Amino acid sequence: MANAKVIEAKQEAVDVVTGKLQNSITTVVADYRGLNVSQVTELRKQLREAGVEFQVLKNTLLRRATAAAELTELDEVLTGPTAIAFSANDAVAPAKILNDFAKKNDALKLKGGVVEGKVVSESQIKALAELPSREGLLSMLLSVLQAPMRNFALAVKAVADKEEQSA
């Protein structure tokens, strides 16, 4: 009877992780070996503030979840201690926070992840982390859209100033 309850609890855990893998925009897998408690607490705090869920999970549970979510390519990075960050809202936040934290703390190593349903490598996660934030991208777009109008206004002003000087 006890074994049935344990198996049922494990299957529920696999189902929960499978749902998170399928519903998150970005999932980042990392090796946290060597981080102390205060460092992990700080990392969790940063991730929580960004709306990112961070968990330490057993690789066997993760492998079953990746099989159920049809993301078995992720299994090759599921070695050693594994922490995983799920984000259902922001595609860049987990990669950016974990990458920035890894730059300051050599103990944290990015392994890979899933972005919009596709398994990606560590280098692709780092490239995603280097992208500007949504606000940064919007300000760049706004600047590009404003440039022609600004240039036109400067040209009109230059013509007006030239005619004013000749008069």
Provide the pLDDT for residue 2.
62
Same-domain pairing of 154 and 79: no
Task: Examine the domain organization and report whether 16 and 63 are in the same domain.
Answer: yes
- 12 and 86 share one domain: yes
Question: Residue 63 belongs to a domain with what CATH number?
Answer: 3.30.70.1730
Identify the segments of the chain with pLDDT beneath 70: 1-2, 133, 167
What does the block give as tokens for 129? 């982390």
Q: What is the pLDDT of residue 160?
A: 84
Q: Rg of the chain's alpha carbons, rounded to an integer?
A: 24
Give the residue among 113, 131, 124, 135 at the shortest CA–CA distance from 24. 113
Domain that residue 145 falls in: 133-166
The per-residue pLDDT for 45 is 92
Apex 100 CA angle, 97 and 105, nearest 5 = 115
> Into how many domains does the chain fold?
2
pLDDT for the residue numbered 167: 66
- The verdict on pTM exceeding 0.75 is no
The reported pLDDT for the residue numbered 135 is 74
- pLDDT of 155 reads 83
Distance (Å, whole) CA 34 – CA 67: 29
Q: Does the CA dihedral 109-88-26-73 come out positive or negative?
A: positive
Secondary structure of residue 12 in the 3-state scheme? helix
